[in-house]
Amino acid sequence: MNKYISNLIKETKQPKIFLKWLLFACIIGLVVGAVSTGFYYALNFVTEIRTAHNWLIYLLPAGGVVIVLLYRFSGMEKDKGTNFVLIAVRENADLPLRTAPLVFVSTVITHLFGGSAGREGAILQIGGSISSSIGRAMHLDENDSRIITMCGMSAAFAALFGTPLTAAIFAMEVISVGVMYYTALVPCVLSAIVGVSFAKFCGVTAACYSFIDMPIFSVSLLIRVIALGISFAILSIIFCRLMQLTPVLFDKYLPNHLSRVIVGGALVIILTLITGTYDYNGFGGNIISEALSGSARPEAFLLKILFTTITLGAGFKGGEIVPVFFTGATFGCVAAPLLGISPSFGAALGLVSVFCGVTNCPMTSIMLALELFGGKQMPLFALCCAVSYMLSGYYSLYSEQKILYSKLRPVFIDKKAK
């Protein structure tokens, strides 16, 4: 009898928990969606200014100094970027609210003066810090605090990029590789939908890419896609290793943060002058579109990696995800024809597969392919992502990401990514 009453009490709690997360997810979706919308328009505004006044790139070192001083005066000079968000979810560590305005302003400065960085990594920090602070204000317990932080990540990513399912799955998958936080499924999906809906209402346009040539399935094509997946895995490792190596070199030779950011800004200026183009400054969305249309320079992927690793390694702020899209799409566009695959389809495969390799998020990557490119040839996208995931080792953009299960065997390993 006591067991029956206990079960009955537990069942009556389920509707309350469900309603609680419906309310919290909507609140987070609206608040974070509003901030993400402002972030979207701010970045677009400064990007338009920069492209109209190319001389602004010469002020990049000065912009870097402002960023360093902002973080120094805020007591966050040792900021770990997106890694802080992963720690906040996994260990329920405090994610200061001041992270949001700092990342917002610093990323805007980076883009205004031509630093090579993305947006999505920055907005994950903004969304995570805002939702974490709301959770503290609500006096949520440890477990609920983790979920509400993931809600903020989902809403922010969805509002900025326009892919709500990708955003929700990413927030649940990126923390610990091999484990999905299914408890957060309802709140993450709902907050992502609310966030992207609010952004669309405010005129934010979702990322919409398309590739020209849809191949006809064959066994030969299957083998060639596997070969491409292997090359994307190698590229993922190279990207991650350079992202890790660059700040180490800066630390070794330029331990002073002000000196580092000045030199890093100067290097970006010199590289821009050498290449004779501004294609690698900012996030380069137009170059991604060109690659998906079948056109990319052979060296574009290498130059984007170089520009991005210097920018972020020197101390400028921004995201890593769009530069990954750029790198994967341009490399795929160039490499695919060597295997008899159309460059546009190769670019589409590269965009999602290199993202998969550097984040260790295969389900997110498959969902990304679905939301960006529709459902056609999804088995090939899934296969290419799977190959990239399996062969990219335990490297990651995020050093605080935990690898709980081996990629090669069903074995629990529980170690940090390289």
- Per-run averaged pLDDT (10 residues), the chain, 418 residues: 53 76 94 95 95 95 96 82 80 81 94 92 89 88 89 94 94 90 93 96 80 80 96 97 94 93 97 95 90 94 97 92 96 96 94 97 95 87 97 92 88 84
Q: Is residue 60 located within the same domain as residue 165?
A: yes
Can you tell me which residue has the tokens 């998969």?
356
Q: Is residue 197 located within the same domain as residue 282?
A: no
What integer pLDDT is reported at residue 115 of this predicted model?
Answer: 94
Q: Is residue 99 located within the same domain as residue 240?
A: no
Q: Is residue 191 located within the same domain as residue 253?
A: no
| Of 344, 360, 319, nearest in space to 157 by CA | 319
Instruction: Examine the fold and report which residue of 201, 234, 269 is the final residue of a domain before the chain moves on.
Output: 201
Instruction: Examine the fold and report which residue of 172, 201, 230 is the final residue of a domain before the chain moves on.
Output: 201
Q: Is residue 263 located within the same domain as residue 390?
A: yes
State the CB neighbour count (10 A cutoff) for residue 330: 31
Q: Is residue 109 located within the same domain as residue 69?
A: yes
Instruction: Examine the fold and report which residue of 168, 201, 234 is the final residue of a domain before the chain moves on.
Output: 201
307 within a domain of the structure (yes/no): yes
213 within a domain of the structure (yes/no): no
Look up the CATH number of the domain holding residue 141. Answer: 1.10.3080.10
Distance between CA atoms of residues 398 and 379, nearest Å:
28
**H or E, element range at 176:** strand 176-177
> Is the sign of the CA dihedral 40, 42, 47, 49 positive or negative?
positive
Q: Is residue 283 located within the same domain as residue 396?
A: yes
Q: Is residue 280 located within the same domain as residue 406?
A: yes
Q: Which two tokens stand for residue 289?
A: 């579109």
State the CB neighbour count (10 A cutoff) for residue 138: 13
What integer pLDDT is reported at residue 8 of this predicted model?
Answer: 45
Q: Cα torsion at 374, 378, 381, 386 (round to 10°)?
A: 130
214 within a domain of the structure (yes/no): no
Residues β-bridged to residue 412: 405
Q: Is residue 183 located within the same domain as residue 252?
A: no
212 within a domain of the structure (yes/no): no
In single-letter form, the type of residue at position 194 comes to V
- Write the DSSP string, 295-362: ---TTHHHHHHHHHHHHHHHT---BSHHHHHHHHHHHHHHHGGGGT--HHHHHHHHHHHHHHHHHT-H
Q: Is residue 70 located within the same domain as residue 114?
A: yes
Distance between CA atoms of residues 348 and 360, nearest Å:
18
Q: Is residue 194 located within the same domain as residue 269?
A: no
Q: Is residue 128 located within the same domain as residue 6?
A: yes
What integer pLDDT is reported at residue 2 of this predicted model?
Answer: 54
Domain that holds residue 165: 2-201
Structurally, the chain folds into a number of domains equal to 2
